[in-house]
Amino acid sequence: MKRYFASVIFCLLFLGLVPSISAQQQASQQTQPPKQEVPPVSVQKVKGNIYQLKGGMGANTGFFIGEKEVLVIDAKMTEDAAKQMIEEIKKLTSHPISCIILTHSDRDHVNGLVGFPKGTNIISHENTRAHMDKAFQSAQEKAYLPNITFSDKLSLYPDGVPKGTRIDLIYFGPAHTDGDAIIYFPNEKVAFIGDLIFINRDMLIHRHKNGTSFGLVRVLKAIMNLDAEIFVHGHGDPATKKDIQNLIQSIEEKQIKIQAMVKEGKTLEQVKKIFNIEDQGMRWPSLVEVIYLELTEKK
C-alpha cells in the first residue's frame, strides 16, 4: 500500500410579416438534430462532508471538504464546466482545491482538468494516465496529466481531520476500462465508482481501452464486498448494493444466453437481432455485441 499525505496533495411566419424560408433552408433545419440542453449545475450532499455535483457539461463529479483543503473527484468535460464546479465549491468553503482524483480516462470525466488551477495534484490509476497521455494533444492538456499514479491501492490520510480518517483508491482490474479507480471513504461507507455502473441503460464497455464485460462482473462483485452503502457514479443518482446486485444479475444472464447462442453457431448479427439491437445512431458497441466478441475472439 502506498501512502500520500494530504498536507502535500489533499488534495459543467407570421405569414406575410417576415421573409419566407426557402425550401432548402427548411430541409436543412429539419435534418439538423436539436441542440441538447445542458442541465443546470446542482450540488447534493452525499454524506458528511462528501458531495456530488450534477449537471453542466460532462459526467457527475464529487468533492470532499476537509479541514484545510478540498479533494475533487473527476473534472467534468470542459474548462467552463470545471470552473462552474469550482464556483459551486466556493459557495461551501474557502479552502483551496489541492487534489483531483480521476475514476478513469473518458473525456467527460477528464477534459475539464484545464479549468482547474495549474499545479493541482492529479491522481489516477497508471493505465488511466497512459490513456490520457495518448488522447491529450495540446501542451495545455499535457500539463494536466496525472502527476501521481498507483497500481493496486493508494491510501490518503487527510490532514486536520480525526485520526484514522483515510480515503482508499482501489483498483480491482479491467472493467469499463483497464484503469477504473474506486474512491472509497470507509468511515462514511461511500464509494465513487465512475462509469462502472449505468442504471436503466445499456452498460458501456470500452474495448479500445481494454474494458471487458466479464471483468466488469468481477469488479462489481469486489465492490459488493466493500463496507459501503452509497455508490456515487457518473450518470445518475447514487446507487445502493441492491442496484449493483441487480446489474450483476442482468449482465450475467446476458452472458449465459449469448454463450449458448455462440455454441449453437449463431452469428453476431443473429444474436443482435434476437436481442433487438439496432445499430442506428449507436456510437459504441452494445453490451450484447461486446459479450459476443469476448466469447468468440481468439485468445
pLDDT for 206-222, tens place per residue? 999 999 999 999 999 99
User: What kind and span of H or E run contains 53?
Assistant: strand 50-54
CATH domain 2-12+36-240 topology: Metallo-beta-lactamase; Chain A (3.60.15)
CA–CA dist 61, 54 (Å, integer): 7
Which CA distances in Å does 35 have to 29, 32, 88, 136, 274?
Answer: 12, 9, 25, 26, 33
Burial track 119-138 (b if 16+ CB lie within 10 A, e otherwise) = ebbbbbbebbbbbbeeebee
The CB density around residue 160, as the number of other CB atoms within 10 Å, is 13
pLDDT above 80: residue 96 = yes
Q: Find, among 217, 181, 200, 192, the residue nearest to 294 by Cα.
A: 217
Grid cell, residue 108, equals: 467527460
Burial of 168 (0-12, 13-18, 19+ CB in 10 A): middle
pLDDT above 50: residue 10 = no
pLDDT above 90: residue 247 = yes
Q: What pTM did the predictor assign?
A: 0.87
Which pLDDT score, from 0 to 100, does residue 24 have? 43
Structural domain boundaries in the chain: 2-12+36-240
pLDDT for 19-59, tens place per residue? 333 444 444 444 444 555 778 899 999 999 999 999 999 99
Q: Are 18 and 63 in contact (CB under 8 A)?
A: no
* Contacts of residue 83, Cβ cutoff 8 Å, sequence gap at least 6: 115
